[in-house]
Amino acid sequence: MTEQNENLSYDTSIIYDYKEYPDKSAGVCDNCGNKHFKSKAENYTFLRECRNCGMKKRI
């Protein structure tokens, strides 16, 4: 139950920066725990988006 309350703190409309918000567990979404992502590279940046909840991180 504590994990769920912790997960609610992320706003999925914001693109988080990996340097400020590193993964709690490598390769797993911090918001929902999903392991599947959509990704794209643009302008020398890598953007990772969770396929389940839509949380985005700039790597």
What is the per-residue pLDDT for 30?
94
> Each residue's pLDDT tens digit in the chain (59 positions)?
344 444 457 899 999 999 999 999 999 999 999 999 999 998 899 999 999 999 999 98
What is the per-residue pLDDT for 9?
72
All structural domains of the chain with their residue ranges = 2-58
What is the per-residue pLDDT for 18?
93
What the block records as the tokens of 40 is 């794209």
What is the per-residue pLDDT for 15?
94
Inter-CA distances, 54 with 2, 40, Å:
21, 14
Half-sphere exposure for 29 (CA within 13 Å, toward CB):
23
Vertex 4 angle, CA 37 and 35, to 5°: 20
